[in-house]
Amino acid sequence: MKRYQMLIGGNWVDSVSGQTRELRDPANGEVVASVPEASREDARAAIDAARVAFDRGPWRKTTALDRGKLLFKLAEALTKEADALARLEVQSCGKPLAEAQFDVADAANCFEFYGGLATKIAGETMNVPANSLSFVVREPLGVCGQIIPWNYPLLMAAWKLAPALAAGNTCVLKPSELTPLTALELGRILTEVGFPPGVVNIITGPGAGAGEELAESPHVDKVAFTGGTVTGRKILLASSGNLKKVTLELGGKNPNIVFADADFEAAVDGALFGAFANQGEVCSAGSRLLVERSIHDRLVAGMVEKIPRVKVGHGLDPATKMGPLVSAAHRDKVESYIRIGVEEGARLVCGGKRPADPALAKGHFLEPTIFVDVKPSMRIAREEIFGPVLSVIPFDTEEEAIAIANDSEYGLAAAVWTKNLTRAHRVIRELRAGITWVNTYHPTFNEMPWGGYKQSGTGRELGLYGIEAYLETKQVNINL
Ligand code: NAD
């Protein structure tokens, strides 16, 4: 068993309390590693290190070109270790190896993308009604507390660190207590490629204590959070003490709308991928499938026929398309929703239980699950389950589809399947969601802004918007 330490001020350290947490492979319960269990005290040490690195370290004097070059080096180094990182990711959160490989490549691309953007940060000169040279400069925000979930451990770390570092900030990253290993490996790699001590600090520990300290601390200038909406609300309140800048990437209950004129096979595949990729543990999962009534039964039959292809198994088995859920507690939660669905009167057409294969008995596996006869008012159609449970809802008209789609407290992602381009544009315009797809599901680009309407969050990550969220704006007026 590998024993990891945390990265604080360029040093690898244990928690002050000496407490550790054992991490197990969710597919078989085998111990993978142990990590320090950080408390508030450890978080404070990490914040102090980031503060010193920002206020007094060499980082602020590092040119944008050199920051960009370091990010390029980091992308390259990550790519060299891609295979080992992908395997560790599988053992951490359970996802299939092919998906983990994609995540590692995407994380490297994210560092590369923001490496390129570092030198494009620019201000502007304004014409003002006075004899003044007036211009706007962009500056880093300062110390950023970054709190991330367990479903894309390395990729979420990249989404947070890359724009913050490109903009010249220093960071304290707190991965989920369930999946901190690839973030710690990332910490090792970025230290090796030459990021100065204290620029990136990584603490491993729970939200209670360590995470709360990041949100509350008056020495943190910004908190960037990805996780559940309930936690997001707490973070917003906790961060109000010093009015730190806040970005929140929260949950979703995303509508995937299939019209009768869609490419049928593509829609079936898209519905399955939207619902079951990454075990359905995706904020943007297409967990509500809205289907035009005239093709409803055929589409459901098409999905049920193909469901055996969503093969459940250990993520390292090349045949696996769906791994275990991240933890026993999380599987319990997902199973409770399956019971709720049945009690509410929805009908299971597949799944709903743990796989019978005895080889999977020690993991937190669940079969891909599809409910039909789902009414929009049911809890399984309204609440984020964050697991492999799809709720299928029929509709009769375009207006009804839009109304059902928007009838949610969330507004993260949405998709439309139709061959009618006019309809696609018309419907997309009406959907209250920050991320939309037409005739596809899930493609995510570093170049495009990611984030939600309504209670799916505030602010945007990725793209040019992502770096904006890590910059201050200063006006300068020189009397001539
Ligand atoms: P979570 O909210 O339980 O935890 C997320 C992170 O917050 C963890 O690091 C946790 O330790 C920390 N945390 C928990 N309570 C805290 C507190 N009071 N103060 C500070 N930190 C705290 O979420 P999770 O279960 O890890 O992840 C699943 C959720 O994440 C889902 O709701 C999902 O939709 C969301 N998510 C959203 C996006 C997005 O981009 N919108 C992406 C991935 C996941």
ipTM: 0.94
Q: Which of 150, 151, 49 minimizes the C-alpha distance to 99?
A: 151
Separation of CA 5 from chain center: 24
Query: Which ligand 1 atom minimizes the distance to the CA of 159?
Result: 40
What is the side-by-side strand order in the sheet with 2-3? 2-3, 31-36, 20-24
pLDDT of residue 108: 98
Q: Which residues face 66 on adjacent strands?
A: none
Which residue of 21, 106, 147 sits with most ligand 1 atoms within 8 Å of its CB, as the best mutation to test the pocket? 147
285 lines ligand 1 (CB under 6 A): no
Read off the amino acid at residue 17: S
Residue 368 CA, ligand 1 centroid: distance in Å? 23
Q: Which of 247, 216, 215, 248 minimizes the C-alpha distance to 229?
A: 248
Query: Which ligand 1 atom minimizes the distance to the CA of 215?
Result: 20
Which residue of 226, 236, 456 sits with most ligand 1 atoms within 8 Å of its CB, as the best mutation to test the pocket? 226
Determine contact, residues 255/357, Cβ cutoff 8 Å: no
Give the integer Cα–Cα distance in Å for 480 and 468. 31
Tell me the two tokens of residue 216. Answer: 């509350």
Q: What distance, in Å, lies between the first and last C-alpha atoms of the chain?
A: 67
pLDDT of residue 1: 85
Determine contact, residues 118/71, Cβ cutoff 8 Å: yes
Give the active site residues. Answer: 249
Residue 282 CA, ligand 1 centroid: distance in Å? 12
362 lines ligand 1 (CB under 6 A): no
* Nearest residue by C-alpha to atom 31 in ligand 1: 228
Q: How many CB atoms lie within 10 A of CB 120?
A: 11
Determine contact, residues 226/430, Cβ cutoff 8 Å: no
Give the integer Cα–Cα distance in Å for 214 and 205. 12
Determine contact, residues 271/310, Cβ cutoff 8 Å: no
Determine contact, residues 32/182, Cβ cutoff 8 Å: no
Ranges under pLDDT 50 in the chain: none
Residue with tokens 């006006």: 475
Give the integer Cα–Cα distance in Å for 76 and 99. 20
Q: How far is CA 370 from CA 135, 392, 433, in A?
A: 57, 7, 24
Give the integer Cα–Cα distance in Å for 354 and 144. 41
Give the integer Cα–Cα distance in Å for 415 and 52. 45
Read off the amino acid at residue 476: V
209 lines ligand 1 (CB under 6 A): no
